[in-house]
Structure 1
Amino acid sequence: MKKITAFVFIAFLGLMTITAQGDGIQSTAIPEGDIPVDPDVIIGTLPNGLTYYIRNNGKPEDKVELRLVVNAGSIMETDRQLGLAHFMEHMNFNGTKNFEKNDLVSYLQSIGVKFGADLNAYTSFDETVYILPIPSDDPEKLEKGFQILEDWAHNTTLSEEAIDGERGVVLEELRLRLGADQRMQKITLPKIMYGSKYAERLPIGTKENLENFTYEDVRDYFRTWYRPDLMAVIAVGDLDVKTLEEKIKTHFSKISKAKNPQKRESYQLPNHEETLIAIASDKEAAFTSVQVMYKDPFEAPQVKTVSDYRDRLVKNLFSTLINNRLDELRNSPNPPFVFGFSYYGGTFARTKNAYQSFAQTSPDGQMVALKAILEENERVKRYGFQEGEFDRAKKSLLARLEKQFNDRDKMESNRLIGEYVDHYLEESPIPGIAWEFNTTKDLLPGIRLEEISALINGFIHDDNRVIVLTGPEKEGLEQVTEEQVRTLLDEIKTAEIKPYKDSEVRNDLMESMPAAGTITSSEYDPDLEITTLTLSNGAKLTYKKTDFKNDEILFRAFSPGGTSLYSDEELQATSFANGGLTEAGIGGLSLNDMSKFMSGKIVRVRPFISSFSENFDGSAAPKDLETLFQMVHLYFTSLNKDEEAFQSHMAKQKSFLGNLMANPQFYFQDQISKIRNEGNPRYTGFPTVEKMDAADYDLAYQKYLERFDDAGDFHFYFVGNIDESALKEYASTYLASLPGKNSNEKYIPTAFRRKDMYQKHVIERGSDPKSYVSIQWEEEIPYDRETAMAVDALGELLTIKLIEKLREEEGGVYGVGANGNLTKITYPLLTFSISFPCGPENTEKLIAAALDEIEKIKKDGVSPEDMGKIKETYLVKQKEDLKTNRYWLTNMVRADQEERDLGLMMNLEGKLATLTSEDIQQVARKYLDENYFLGILMPEKE
């Protein structure tokens, strides 16, 4: 039901907004003044202390995003309340003053708000946030939405029956977290969060406490921390601000001000003089990583003034510069890690920032990776950065901001609202993208390279340092010792480290221009507002000009054929080599050269070969559209061949895969996939180190050239803010000039068919008491769009019913889903699946309950209430999808690949108008029969 932030690996906190402490050399006078608040945002406080934020935003139409933010999380729990901040979040979906248990979710489904995908919440150490999108064009639905938000704030019933019913669900969520990561976390977290309460308050809590807490324990948490002075209501969407403000005041002013409220403490992360080292390994660990963390000795400062903003900008540039170097290392002939990055930013504790470096590596490569990231930090400390890489970093940073600025009036409400949540919780600045873009442009010329390079002197230090290594434990693998790490830390200080060598890259992507072709015809569809061009080499280009985004053009292309035209032997030899082909670069430029050339450009292009077509995928800002076309041309005509680059890619892949099958879930999927593809000569399976070693680069490169030697049977697609005259010019120059051989290839349909019979396979793997169930049906049937609609709707319906039965009634799962699909490629195939994790002791009971829900549909059909939920969910989603470039592009390509009518595909209202309960019932009766595949993951027997 809810996405819970119980533990987010600290290395990925680089995605957070960076706060800054000014450490560098100031090259100009310190900017004066406070950072303003975006004038489009209204901020107010009710007499009871509740804060509110309101903003009118028209994208998507007729929708408002609501958030209830509670400035309290698991860090506020007493020893008797472990896990109850998170449990309290669950309880708000299980009975309030105005919505009895299950009524809330049922009502929201009836208005098109999807459970889990739309309706959501999360609990972390310091806060709890409830997420509710609702329609804004219906006064009754709007009123109900605010009533729900109000109930979450102070009207939870917390009945004994509801509390006991939810224990099972939360314990199932706890079960999901069991495994290698959780076991290693017990070793690493106390070092990372040394001496703090954070090390003892993971939001998920403990099994013992979740099973045994009293009703009063959770009620006491609710009474203590759910109070208006610790709450914010945030409303952003397509509605006038006066109406939103009136709703907030009406619903939330009535909440009584807290009497003698308990102080909301701010918890510290204490300093420590020594370097703390945490080394954790586990037999089921799939991945290997190293992390270096330098915690600031001082409390994290807030970003309040223009000078603070400038400090943050300097640190952002530092992160870009160091990560560009780490990317170059990643692309080197002997890469020391699969990927690596560094950043300065937040930790779990709001009061502490840190400089952190992280790398993922091979099981036996921890010391190599650790040495590499330590050396790069030391290289910066000794020699600083260089002007060329500084200029590229500035271009990249400004290009990203410019894209946001250009799309400032087309930003979706759910992307804006997070900034206001952060402003309430941590007083993060919210000046708006216009101020940020213009201020950054003003500040960048005054920032000197020397002050960025000098930051490293404040970032790295011997005290407050934590080294974390995690990875597998297996026979023949020698574990890194603490002594080895300390020795390396000392060696780095005196090691011979050479300065970074920058290299210039040519100014033009293409060294010579091709002889342009022509556009031979143009057809326009006035209903869909789509234009199709035919080029002189036979290729087609279809485009749709939109105003959904100001700075976005999306791109796809395909040609029938793909690996279906390979022999069985060629497919097996090249399958795991294809992903490394583009690592060599194009047009004589290496991957690192390309990265430098692309500084300041917003463009990407990716060619790939799939089972039944050769393809392109990409996007560009309108200003960089010509670069996209040039890249496509070069991928057709000038893909580099570089054995070193290929082997670098393969080394990273093998490092990533080194212990993948130790993870029970990966192992289960691999075994089930092998069983289902028994006898299939074209089944390549999960990647392994052995398969990577056997990959044939020469043959893969040769087959790539064959697949892309005829542009004449390609169909190119563009959707977005297109300058039509420029598009036609680029199409003529870069696409029509490509060779067209009139090959008109078709893919070869799949010959292999899976067994149409009941099968049950139990796979034993793992030491934790956790299981996973997968039930799958397949039927080869004639394609028709009515059946396709019905089977998809059956998936939506069954998901609703399974949540009601397996989660809410049985308390046996945390999440469950069903999915149905009917496709025409390569042959008409109906697939349907049900999957869920659960306790081993409950698998048979829950499987029976799931199948029983299918039998009920077969017998009774679909209730009018459930039909209403399904149809409304589809309509609400498509209303938004129709205003997105991605939706149009996906359906344009799919219509051509499957030879379907795009107009009919986009007419969802027409399809839903004819969809009946009987249609769904008949699909269930006809295709969800006794011939299904049942896969069950069980823990190994002791």
Structure 2
Amino acid sequence: MKIIKPIALAFLLPTLLQSVEAAPTSMTYEARQVLVQDTISWDAPLPFDNEVKTGKLANGFQYFIRKNVEPKDRVTMYLATKVGSILETESQLGLAHFMEHMNFNGLKHFPKNALVDYLQKAGVRFGSDLNAYTSFDQTVYQLPIPSDDPDLLKNGLQVMRDWAQDALLTDEEIDKERGVVLEEMRGGRGAAQRMRDQYLPVMLNNSLYSNRLPIGTEDVITNFPYDELRKFHQDWYRPDLQALIIVGDVDVEQMENEVKRLFSDMKMPANPPQRVEHKVPLLNKNQFIAVTDPETSYTIGQITIKHPEEKVTTVRDFRKQLSKSVYNNMLNARLSELGQSANPPYIQAMASVGGFLAGLDAFNALFVAKPNEFENGFKALVRELERVQKHGFTSSEFERAVSAIHKNNETAYTERDKKKSDSYVNRYLNYYLEDSPALSNEDNYRLNKQLLPTLTLEEVEDIGKQYYLDSNRDIIIMAPEKEKESLPYEAKALAWLNEVESEQITAYEDKVSDLPLLSNEPVKGAVVENKAIDAIDAKELVLSNGVKVVLKPTTFKNDEILINAYSPGGTSLYSDVDYYSASHAGSLVNSSGVGQLNTIELQKYMTGKNVNISPYLSERSEGLSGYSDKEGLQTAFEMIYGYFTEPRIEDDVFQSTITKNLSMIANRESNPSFVFSKTVMESLYDGNIRRVPISEDGVKQINQQRALEIYKERFADASDFVFTIVGSFTEDEIKPYLEQYVASLPSLKRNEKAIDLGIYEPEKGFERIVHKGQEQKATAVLTYYGDYNYNEVENLNMDALESVLSIKLIERLREDESGVYGTGARASTSKAPKGRYSFTVSFGTSVDKYQPLINSALDEINKVKQNGPVATDLDKFKIEQKRQMELSLKENRFWMSQISGAYQRDEDPTYITRYLQDLDKLTVESVKEVANKYLKEDKLFKFILLPDEK
């Protein structure tokens, strides 16, 4: 279950325009009208969303209910509680999070594990659908369920009521869950945790927050008395600290009546403790800390300047929030551009003004340093911040940033009636828990549209002057231990700051091209064949140059068009000598410009356009993928034509890529997870360069000229390409672009196929143990490999086997044996170059438990092989698939995957219409047969990661 990682605290709440939704103040009708008048009332309170039903019961419990039919026949319910780890006493460290776990381990109406079992039978997936998270100040429970079943809907509300106050908290279930939470804690241990424990007191100004991480302590989790958890539950799980959010395809009045019926009897404790609002105080001083660890791979520098929080409650506040968004946009564009130079001073850098934590906002700037070049990266970052302070931004930068935000606003408004329920849930969740705005779609759109044109460059520049100050500043450095000598001490870092501030820094020059993207207009081709695929409401066209195009118009979104193209071949057609150049060709071209625009010019040209087209080369194919709206279609097809006929790999992009790749791999051997993964791949594929992580020598073998040659070879012949286009268009709308930009692509009529490279796992399984890492924890990966009879029915049985085994592994390894936090099975099958499969079971645990847990996992596998799956587990898989299919059939991305995948694998694209029929044919015997066919002992490979040997 989700826990906030403090290392990311500084970047958890960057407030971008598209996430600004409204304020926690209701308005009269007259006040609302202020927003549509020409004269803006700056101090008018922001209106609350008028499309949600809200209420507060006599006991203090609040609710938010909204009807939304995307997706149809579904409802999402969240229980928000203002209860987090900050409320714990020293004897309760970790109990807020532990309590979250216990709400899945026995409720008044769902004892023991009946909750998960019941919901799985309804098609609700544990972990991805049914879930919860605990943070410093809140615990939130989520339950998306079908709304077309009255009993299920009724029981879903009962679950929320039980979560609110009716956990059973039996001795037996508490003791069982101790082990699960300890394993979750163990899994989080490592370099990041060890460094976090050192810098967190600095980041959080030694406030209570720095001693209240939600995961708690091993001592408390192991030893707390049962009544301590029950006391925490009684004190804090109470109606005045809770709200229910319901959004979906429901009757609002009926839901409101049910909420009143179920939640009105919730009781307050006799003497409730006060819910104190804790804060992180400003110390009015600067701080510095550098921490190292032998197992971390990167050096990160972070500058955080804390400020009192600025709440967004009025029109004026909203406008300032827009200013911050424009400032962040321009600043990050500068940092990104510098990072793409031939010799970039850092691997990556970013900066923003936004929310922090507990009553604070912050200016945050972060960079990932190249190995042993911290000074260079630090000064480069500070230099760009100083450049903005001294010279500001250019008017063209300002215009682009405003254009990008305007486009986002227009896109969001266009899709307002297709908006998913989850987005509304998060709106009201943040309103209740964080006092964040909760504007209606109309008000949000109107405010953005009205206020954006009123912003000036000068006031946006003032954001930096307000927030980038020499006060309440933290400098935090995290690095590999072997780079300790190259890191600055505090006085040195301050000296670097002073050096940069005293430099004669020149103003930024905004280089923008006025050239069109393409140097020449393509010679128009034609559509020569047109065939209907009636079963899926699609059409297959053939163009005059041989290109095949599959069109699937939909109404799932108002303005979303997905584009994919592929051709067989890929890097399989090239020798090992050319492999590194071939495998990087697609990403190098994609990172460069196209046509007449270089990479920086292209990025600026694309600002304000909802378009992206990216070329790729994989092992067995090459192609393009991307998206557009209707307004951007010409740009999208110009880019497609350009990536075929005018690709480039720029010198700066190439040098920057090589430099960054060398930097990123320099310290990875210190990371236990990397060493483990590398060892697995080397042992499975005998060190084949196409399967193991690229080495420093491999990076140096990438040849710029050869990479471009290979790319051009792969895209020289469009005749064997298949384009798939899915989304909100008509054939008449898309046809002119196909004729102009796709039918005009070069055609050589080559007959190419990808090559079978013969890279397969060994015939017989084996065990490999890797010792790496100082933490006393183990990782076990059990995988079966072999040849596979690839077909639709076999694939379905394999998916079912994955599902039923995952259920049993969680029940046994987690719930019964308390030995793991997470586990499950994962099946993977492939058709080409020949039928192959892998079937993996993995988990993390303590060093003394990994072997018994392996035995338990294999025992569950053998049970399925001997007896087949439990019939009820197989039924859970079927209903889950049916329920997921109801949602998937209304998603553009699902249809893109289905259609383009079918053409690549030479399969029937209409199979999806028969999927549910085959699903009903699944039996205990058919799954048992597949288990015995593929989960053979001699095909089992065991890979174990253990700590360093002492």
User: Shorter-normalised TM-score: what interval?
Assistant: over 0.9
Equivalent positions of 1:478-557 (< 5 A) are 478-506=486-514, 508-557=516-565
Q: What's 2:32 paired with?
A: none
Q: Does 1:347 align with 2:356?
A: yes
Q: What's 2:2 paired with?
A: 3
Superposed displacement of residue 641, structure 1: 3.2
1:402-426 CA deviation, whole Å, 9 max, x = no partner? 1111111111111221111000012
> Structure 1: how far apart are the matches of 2:819 and 2:11?
31
> Structure 1: how far apart are the matches of 2:592 and 2:553?
34
Equivalent positions of 1:40-439 (< 5 A) are 40-296=51-307, 298=308, 300-349=309-358, 351-439=359-447
- One-letter amino acid matched to 1:208: D
Q: Bigger shift: 892-901 or 253-262?
A: 253-262
> Structure 2: how far apart are the matches of 1:838 and 1:228?
37
> Structure 1: how far apart are the matches of 2:235 and 2:906?
61
1:45-88 CA deviation, whole Å, 9 max, x = no partner? 11110111111110111110000000110011111111110000
Task: Say which SS state the counterpart of residue 840 (structure 1) adopts.
Answer: coil
1:629-669 CA deviation, whole Å, 9 max, x = no partner? 11010000111232222111221222222222211111101
Q: Does 1:801 align with 2:802?
A: no
Q: Bigger shift: 735-744 or 816-825?
A: 816-825
Superposed displacement of residue 8, structure 1: 5.3
Q: Bigger shift: 441-450 or 746-755?
A: 746-755
> Structure 2: how far apart are the matches of 1:576 and 1:480?
36
- One-letter amino acid matched to 2:55: G
Q: What's 1:894 paired with?
A: 901
Q: What's 1:864 paired with?
A: 871
Q: Does 1:876 align with 2:875?
A: no
Q: What's 1:657 paired with?
A: 665
Superposed displacement of residue 801, structure 1: 0.5
- One-letter amino acid matched to 2:831: K
- One-letter amino acid matched to 2:865: K
> Structure 1: how far apart are the matches of 2:221 and 2:870?
36
Q: Does 1:677 align with 2:685?
A: yes
1:671-700 CA deviation, whole Å, 9 max, x = no partner? 1001000174x5341133332122122211
In structure 2, relative to structure 1, the CA distance for the partners of 1:804 and 1:42 (3 Å cut) is same
8 Å Cα contact 1:538-1:712 kept in structure 2: yes
1:252-292 CA deviation, whole Å, 9 max, x = no partner? 11111344322111112111232101111111002221111
1:502-525 CA deviation, whole Å, 9 max, x = no partner? 122226322321111111111112
Superposed displacement of residue 499, structure 1: 0.7
Q: Does 1:777 align with 2:784?
A: yes
> Structure 2: how far apart are the matches of 1:236 and 1:19?
19
> Structure 2: how far apart are the matches of 1:512 and 1:244?
61
> Structure 2: how far apart are the matches of 1:4 and 1:315?
28
> Structure 1: how far apart are the matches of 2:484 and 2:448?
53
Task: Say which SS state the counterpart of residue 3 (structure 2) adopts.
Answer: coil
- One-letter amino acid matched to 2:292: S
Q: What's 1:752 paired with?
A: 759
- One-letter amino acid matched to 1:139: P
Q: Select which of 722, 740, 747 maps to 1:733.
A: 740
Identify unmatched segments of 5+ residues in structure 2: 23-38
8 Å Cα contact 2:515-2:596 kept in structure 1: no
1:830-853 CA deviation, whole Å, 9 max, x = no partner? 221111111111111010000000
Superposed displacement of residue 16, structure 1: 5.2
Q: What's 1:849 paired with?
A: 856
8 Å Cα contact 1:792-1:820 kept in structure 2: yes
1:865-895 CA deviation, whole Å, 9 max, x = no partner? 1121010111111110110000000010111
8 Å Cα contact 1:4-1:123 kept in structure 2: yes
Q: Select which of 811, 825, 828 maps to 1:821.
A: 828
Superposed displacement of residue 100, structure 1: 1.2
> Structure 2: how far apart are the matches of 1:507 and 1:438?
34
Q: Bigger shift: 441-450 or 884-893?
A: 441-450
Identity of aligned residues (%): 38
- One-letter amino acid matched to 1:490: N
- One-letter amino acid matched to 2:337: E
Q: Bigger shift: 470-479 or 739-748?
A: 470-479
- One-letter amino acid matched to 2:323: V
In structure 2, relative to structure 1, the CA distance for the partners of 1:661 and 1:376 (3 Å cut) is same
In structure 2, relative to structure 1, the CA distance for the partners of 1:337 and 1:292 (3 Å cut) is same
Q: Does 1:641 align with 2:649?
A: yes
In structure 2, relative to structure 1, the CA distance for the partners of 1:714 and 1:878 (3 Å cut) is same
8 Å Cα contact 1:366-1:469 kept in structure 2: no
Q: Bigger shift: 572-581 or 444-453?
A: 572-581
Superposed displacement of residue 477, structure 1: 5.7
In structure 2, relative to structure 1, the CA distance for the partners of 1:129 and 1:191 (3 Å cut) is same
> Cα RMSD (Å) of the superposition?
1.8
- One-letter amino acid matched to 1:835: S
In structure 2, relative to structure 1, the CA distance for the partners of 1:535 and 1:472 (3 Å cut) is same
In structure 2, relative to structure 1, the CA distance for the partners of 1:112 and 1:20 (3 Å cut) is closer
- One-letter amino acid matched to 2:357: F
Q: Does 1:691 align with 2:698?
A: yes
Superposed displacement of residue 14, structure 1: 4.4
Superposed displacement of residue 906, structure 1: 4.1
> Structure 1: how far apart are the matches of 2:13 and 2:740?
41
> Structure 1: how far apart are the matches of 2:697 and 2:481?
20
- One-letter amino acid matched to 1:155: D
Superposed displacement of residue 434, structure 1: 2.3
1:125-158 CA deviation, whole Å, 9 max, x = no partner? 0100001111100010001111111111110011
8 Å Cα contact 1:272-1:463 kept in structure 2: no
In structure 2, relative to structure 1, the CA distance for the partners of 1:287 and 1:896 (3 Å cut) is same
8 Å Cα contact 2:77-2:144 kept in structure 1: yes
In structure 2, relative to structure 1, the CA distance for the partners of 1:460 and 1:140 (3 Å cut) is same
Task: Say which SS state the counterpart of residue 900 (structure 1) adopts.
Answer: coil
Superposed displacement of residue 590, structure 1: 1.6
Q: Bigger shift: 743-752 or 177-186?
A: 743-752
Q: Does 1:473 align with 2:520?
A: no
8 Å Cα contact 1:73-1:128 kept in structure 2: yes
8 Å Cα contact 1:20-1:315 kept in structure 2: no
Task: Say which SS state the counterpart of residue 848 (structure 2) adopts.
Answer: helix
- One-letter amino acid matched to 1:276: Q
> Structure 2: how far apart are the matches of 1:10 and 1:788?
42
Q: Bigger shift: 256-265 or 849-858?
A: 256-265
Superposed displacement of residue 573, structure 1: 4.8
> Structure 2: how far apart are the matches of 1:520 and 1:774?
52
Task: Say which SS state the counterpart of residue 75 (structure 1) adopts.
Answer: helix
Equivalent positions of 1:711-730 (< 5 A) are 711-730=718-737
In structure 2, relative to structure 1, the CA distance for the partners of 1:283 and 1:774 (3 Å cut) is same
Task: Say which SS state the counterpart of residue 569 (structure 1) adopts.
Answer: helix
> Structure 2: how far apart are the matches of 1:129 and 1:121?
5
Equivalent positions of 1:575-586 (< 5 A) are 575-576=583-584, 578-586=586-594
TM-score (norm 1): 0.97
Aligned residues: 932
